């Protein structure tokens, strides 16, 4: 019933042509009227497949995203920062649980999703395949990666699939705390010693290019956007989300006295549009297909976690079987 998709592979539109045209029209009318689609409602197989693909990738991004920040919990400067970062990382893992549950409503079991992740068959966000060398890298993630995630998720929380939008709604509320925490971390470094300012600037220099890619390939080469926007799964295109992020956060980065490592970055006031250096989409493709600086390490950690947690899952399942009351 479920299935993923290969990057940049053209969509199999044939599956849509096979659907009952009357049901398909009623489905599109419901979406156009702003109604929510629920798990037991009729939906085209392609809608189901696309949602599983996107929600599953999103869930994986949350648990893998916890890794580069997680390594900084014990090294965060001071008790308060340690506590706050630990709470944030726990939130991210919780987001993954919400999202796996939302994807499960579409028919793909959680075990199959985890299996696809640890065996490299599923994708997760490009940005978490880069190393967090310094505390400032962790601050960049907490502020600006979370900011990018909020831009995307606030928009998509108005989308069409009930379980996903309800999960996004809750996730956005928690993310807005993360954003404040992340901004406070970056602002502290900005107001700190020359070395602290330098570390933060170096982190911005390292993470800016992956951050631009975080919103997905440009609209010219995005594969799934057209159908996902028609079905209100995505509420804006990748370029529109990237532009919104630039609009909101470039001035804030400048305000803190940092520079952005893109010589072409400028606001074209006539077109009300940010001009940027075109991201290196070949690097992007390599990274999302398993060949980034940290891909192997990230999946190895998840594989170990899966292996070590096996006895807990088995114990819970046995206990629930023992207390299960047979239905009359
Ligand atoms: N990374 O047709 P396109 C967080 C793939 S977690 C990797 O434009 P689509 C956080 C795409 O999957 C929040 N792969 O795709 C956590 C497709 O490949 P397949 C993460 C990417 O789906 C912890 C191919 O490229 N947010 O912030 O229309 C701590 C063609 O692309 C990426 C979400 O997951 C990427 N960046 O649009 C801190 C949001 N971009 O599947 C923070 C939910 C594209 O054909 N997802 N690809 O093999 C989305 O909104 C959409 O899936 C995307 C891509 C905008 C990302």
Q: What is the pLDDT of residues 256-279, one digit of tens each?
A: 999 999 999 999 999 999 999 999
Q: What is the CA radius of gyration of the chain?
A: 21
Q: What is the CATH number of the domain that holds 108?
A: 1.20.1260.10
Shortest-distance Cα residue to atom 42 of ligand 1 = 146
Cα-to-centroid distance, 128 and ligand 1 (Å): 12
d(CA 51, CA 103): 7
pLDDT of residue 104: 98
Assigned domain for 26 exists? yes
Q: Is residue 151 part of a domain?
A: yes
Contact 211, 127 (CB under 8 A): yes
Atom nearest to 68 CA in ligand 1: 29
What is the number of the ligand 1 atom nearest to the C-alpha of 6? 48
Strands (E), 122-263: none
Q: Is residue 237 part of a domain?
A: yes
Distance CA 213, CA 191 (A): 29
Burial of 319 (0-12, 13-18, 19+ CB in 10 A): exposed
CA of 190 from ligand 1 middle (Å) equals 30
Instruction: Give residues (CB < 6 A) around ligand 1.
Output: 5-7, 53-54, 57-58, 61-62, 65-66, 69, 92, 123, 125-126, 141, 145-146, 149, 152, 213-217, 222-225, 228, 234, 238, 288
Please calculate the CA angle 292-293-299 and round it to the nearest 5 degrees.
75
CA 200 from centroid of its chain's CA atoms: 23
| Closest C-alpha to ligand 1, atom 23 | 65
Ligand 1 atom 25 nearest Cα: 7
User: What pLDDT, in 10s, does the model give residues 186-218?
Assistant: 999 999 999 999 999 999 999 999 999 999 999
- What span, in angstroms and rounded, lies between the C-alpha atoms of 125 and 110? 19
Q: Measured between alpha carbons, how far is 71 from 49 in angstroms, rounded to an integer? A: 34
Structural domain count, the chain: 1
Q: Print the domain residue range for 293.
A: 8-304
pLDDT digits (tens, 9 = 90+) for 90-118: 999 999 999 999 999 999 999 999 999 99
pLDDT in tens, 44-83: 999 999 999 999 999 999 999 999 999 999 999 999 999 9
Q: Is 328 a member of any domain?
A: no
Cα 243 to chain centroid distance, Å, stands at 17
In a domain, 3, yes or no: no
Residues 6+ apart with CB under 8 A from 137: 68, 131, 203, 206, 207
- Is 312 within a domain? no
Other Cβ atoms closer than 10 A to 278? 9
pTM reported for the whole predicted model: 0.94
Q: Whose CA is nearest to atom 56 of ligand 1?
A: 216
Give phi and psi for 223, each to the nearest 5.
-90, -45
User: Is the predicted pLDDT of residue 281 greater than 70, yes or no?
Assistant: yes
Please give the mean pLDDT across all residues of the chain: 94
- Ligand 1 centroid to Cα of residue 328, in Å, is 46
User: Partners of 82 in the beta sheet?
Assistant: none
User: Quick check: is 2 in a domain?
Assistant: no
Q: Closest ligand 1 atom to the C-alpha of 287? A: 7
pLDDT of 15: 75
On the question of pLDDT at 8 being above 60, the answer is: no
How does pLDDT run across 145-162, given as a tens digit for each residue?
A: 999 999 999 999 999 999
Per-residue pLDDT tens over the stretch 31-44: 999 999 999 999 99
Do the domain assignments include residue 326? no
Answer whether residue 1 shows pLDDT above 60: no
86 C-alpha vs ligand 1 centroid, how far in Å? 25
The pLDDT value recorded for residue 323 is 67
Closest CA to 212 of 175, 255, 168, 261: 261
């Amino acid at each position: 019933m479920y299935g993923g998709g290969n990057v940049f592979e053209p969509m199999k539109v044939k599956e849509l042509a096979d659907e009952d045209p009357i049901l398909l029209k009623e489905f599109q009318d419901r979406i156009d009227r702003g109604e929510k689609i629920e798990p037991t409602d009729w939906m085209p197989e392609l809608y189901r497949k696309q949602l599983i693909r996107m929600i599953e990738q999103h869930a994986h991004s949350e648990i893998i995203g916890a890794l580069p920040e997680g390594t900084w919990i014990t090294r965060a400067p001071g008790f308060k920062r340690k506590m706050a970062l630990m709470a944030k990382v726990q939130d991210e893992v919780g987001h993954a649980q919400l999202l796996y549950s939302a994807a499960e409503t579409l028919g793909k079991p959680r075990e199959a999703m985890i299996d696809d992740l640890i065996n490299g068959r599923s994708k997760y966000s490009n940005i978490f395949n880069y190393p967090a060398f310094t505390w400032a890298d962790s601050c960049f993630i907490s502020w600006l990666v979370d900011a990018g995630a909020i831009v995307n998720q606030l928009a998509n929380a108005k989308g069409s699939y009930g379980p996903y939008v309800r999960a996004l709604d809750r996730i956005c509320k928690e993310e807005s705390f993360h954003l404040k925490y992340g901004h406070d971390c970056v602002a502290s470094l900005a107001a700190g010693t020359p070395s602290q300012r330098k570390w933060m600037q170096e982190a911005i220099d390292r993470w800016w290019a992956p951050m631009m890619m975080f919103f997905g390939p440009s609209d010219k080469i995005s594969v799934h956007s057209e159908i996902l926007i028609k079905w209100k799964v995505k509420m804006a295109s990748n370029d529109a989300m990237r532009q919104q992020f630039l609009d909101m956060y470039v001035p804030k980065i400048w305000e803190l006295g940092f520079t952005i490592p893109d010589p072409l970055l400028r606001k074209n006031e006539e077109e009300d549009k940010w001009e940027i250096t075109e991201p290196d989409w070949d690097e992007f493709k390599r990274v999302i297909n398993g060949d980034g600086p940290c891909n192997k390490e990230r999946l190895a950690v998840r594989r170990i976690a899966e292996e070590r947690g096996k006895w807990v899952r088995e114990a819970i399942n046995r206990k629930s079987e023992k207390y299960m009351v047979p239905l009359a």
